Structure 1
Amino acid sequence: MQSFELCSEELTEIVLVDSVFIIELFRRWIDQTLIEENDPLNGRQQLIDEVYRDLQLYENPLPIFILKTVYNFAFDAPSFSSITCKFFNVRAVEVRDFKRFVDLLRTCHLPSLLRSSSNKGTVFGTTITETYLHNAGVKFVPCPEKSLLDIEFDPDRQSLKIAPLKLDDSTEHFFWNLLVFE
């Protein structure tokens, strides 16, 4: 691995340029009218996908509080939380205590029971398979507005409401990062 030295001004410049790039990426993602014909992001979906995956890495050293500070210096609305959640396609949450994007994403995918601070450390019982539930007469109901792990059982209808699991090129990457973070 190559090592190099940076003075504080150079490091500050790198962090600022990275912050502006990420903020502009988020803004252009949610408002496509901001993308001009000669924009480097125009027609570069593969680049956007790579940055999307890189931002989820635990190793991504750019803390969210820096991005939020830079964003709030330049813009009033929409909020940094709003554009961040839209970019990552997760339900809106307030981005405050999250140090990294992977922490934000992990929290957004927790069941609502575990998102509250009063339930930290809650332990759940044995894992039951889908086959077992299906054979017991449980019906699975897709519920896209729910978090991936926010599962609800309706005993009257014998149905299990669960968010569909979207599988694509980034799924494995996403789950590996969550495991690293845990």
Structure 2
Amino acid sequence: MEKQKLRYLQQLLYRTRDTVDEYVTEIRELEENAWEFYHHETSGFNRDELVGMLVLDGCFIIELFRKYSINGLSRESDTIFQSEQLRFALRRDLILLENQLPFSVLYYLFSKTRRPDEEGDLIPLALAFLERIMPNEKLTIVNNTQPEDLKHLLALVHASWGHQLSPAPNVPDEKWKFVNSATELKEAGVEFKILETRNVFDIRFIDGVLKIPRLCIGDYTEFPLRNLLAYEQCHLQRHQRKYVSDYIAFMNCLVNSPRDVQLLRHSKIIDSWVADDAAVYALLKDVYRFVLIAPRNFSYSQVCVKLNGHCRRRQNVWMANLRRNYFNSPWAFVSFLAACVLLLLTFIQTLFSVLSYTK
């Protein structure tokens, strides 16, 4: 990749007619913030090496985003664009928490090298390239997001993937508890349905129906989730919503065995591309090991309260048992109906016998 980075830098300098010394001089002015950004990780760097790394990697990243989205930039003979597998590996590298560059450096280099006729800005170009690695492949530009508000690319991905979840009013810690598994909820009369939306965090419980957006799970799913969780645990303030952590915690409650995965898969809530239900179960449990939630700010506390309230009502359990035992197939329903008719005829016969005896 070092050869590819140098090649992209040369192409950028040729197109802009700039010199690399200009970039180095400008980045040196941002160096102090960059040094603080890396703090403990800079023990093996001197400051000249840090500036060189920022210029080389930063130019490579912005050129990569441009070539992916902007027509007219040569890609036919580009090694990176001849291999989808290589682009996927680049996406993985770009959202690694330990690989992040300060967004201020990326934005400066993008602005410095931008042509007068160039359409698009850095944020939409970055999201267009990075969203292909995310479950459900949907990243939305957050209104009023300014480059100076962003720490790095992973922070941009986090804000874009989670911002659509409207925070529900907080429920006091003692008023809510985690819910049972999907299988147990079904036995208590809860119905599972897919919610047709690209916002994976939008989970609702309405009139006995738990509606959950589709979660696509493949071999790549664990990687972005781990890095987003690490970002939430290490860098978000206590008052900030941890969307991904809360979502994984809620799904972990629902999935307590491969049987729960099967139930959610049959409901089309889980779209699995891995080996089997046991593999999905193992993946979710493995990711959950990195989750710490704030009970006072848990995004699904109201959903938990409603679900647990539903499960405590005995009539819901009785109706669920009735449907499961007698209405789970046409033949079971016919048998139940025949038994009811037979019982009714027996009652009528008994009634007539009593009336005739009375007379």
What TM-score, normalized by structure 1, do the two folds share? 0.75
Across the aligned residues of Structure 1 and Structure 2, the Cα RMSD in angstroms comes to 3.1
Task: Describe how 1:68-107 pairs up with structure 2 within 5 A.
Answer: 68-75=107-114, 77-89=119-131, 90-93=139-142, 94=145, 96=147, 97-107=149-159
Unaligned runs of 5+ in 2: 1-42, 132-138, 234-359
How far apart, CA to CA, are the structure 2 residues paired with 1:64 and 1:176? 21
Match of 1:150 in 2: 202
What TM-score, normalized by structure 2, do the two folds share? 0.41
Deviation track 1:74-109 (CA, whole Å, cap 9, x = no partner) reads 336312111122222211123532212222223333
Which of 165, 169, 179 is residue 112 of structure 1 equivalent to?
165
Match of 1:178 in 2: 228
Displacement of 1:172: 1.0
How far apart, CA to CA, are the structure 2 residues paired with 1:153 and 1:32? 45
8 Å CA contact 1:28, 1:35 repeated in 2: yes
**Identity across the alignment (%):** 26
Report the 3-state secondary structure (helix = DSSP H, G, I; strand = E; otherwise coil) of the residue aligned with 1:113: coil
1:27 aligns with 2:80: no
Change (3 A) 1:131 1:79: farther
| Worse-matched range after superposition: 122-131 or 51-60 | 122-131
Which of 201, 205, 212 is residue 162 of structure 1 equivalent to?
212
Change (3 A) 1:105 1:127: farther
Match of 1:42 in 2: 81
Report the 3-state secondary structure (helix = DSSP H, G, I; strand = E; otherwise coil) of the residue aligned with 2:193: strand
How far apart, CA to CA, are the structure 2 residues paired with 1:131 and 1:30? 44
8 Å CA contact 2:191, 2:210 repeated in 1: yes
Change (3 A) 1:113 1:174: same
How far apart, CA to CA, are the structure 2 residues paired with 1:141 and 1:40? 40
How far apart, CA to CA, are the structure 2 residues paired with 1:104 and 1:46? 23
Count, aligned residues:
172
How far apart, CA to CA, are the structure 1 residues paired with 2:52 and 2:77? 24
8 Å CA contact 2:65, 2:129 repeated in 1: yes
8 Å CA contact 1:143, 1:161 repeated in 2: no
Displacement of 1:154: 4.2
Q: Which has the larger radius of gyration?
A: 2
Unaligned runs of 5+ in 1: none
Match of 2:247 in 1: none
8 Å CA contact 2:193, 2:212 repeated in 1: yes
Change (3 A) 1:27 1:131: farther
Change (3 A) 1:44 1:95: farther
How far apart, CA to CA, are the structure 1 residues paired with 2:192 and 2:45? 60
Instruction: From the two aligned structures, give the one with the greater helix fraction.
Output: 2
Match of 1:126 in 2: 177
1:59 aligns with 2:98: yes
One-letter amino acid matched to 2:67: R
Deviation track 1:135-173 (CA, whole Å, cap 9, x = no partner) reads 424341242421x22223444xx5444332122232111
8 Å CA contact 1:35, 1:41 repeated in 2: no
Q: Between the two structures, name the one with larger relative contact order (CA 8 Å, sep ≥ 6).
A: 1
Match of 1:16 in 2: 55
Report the 3-state secondary structure (helix = DSSP H, G, I; strand = E; otherwise coil) of the residue aligned with 1:141: strand
Deviation track 1:22-63 (CA, whole Å, cap 9, x = no partner) reads 112222223465343221312122221111111111111411
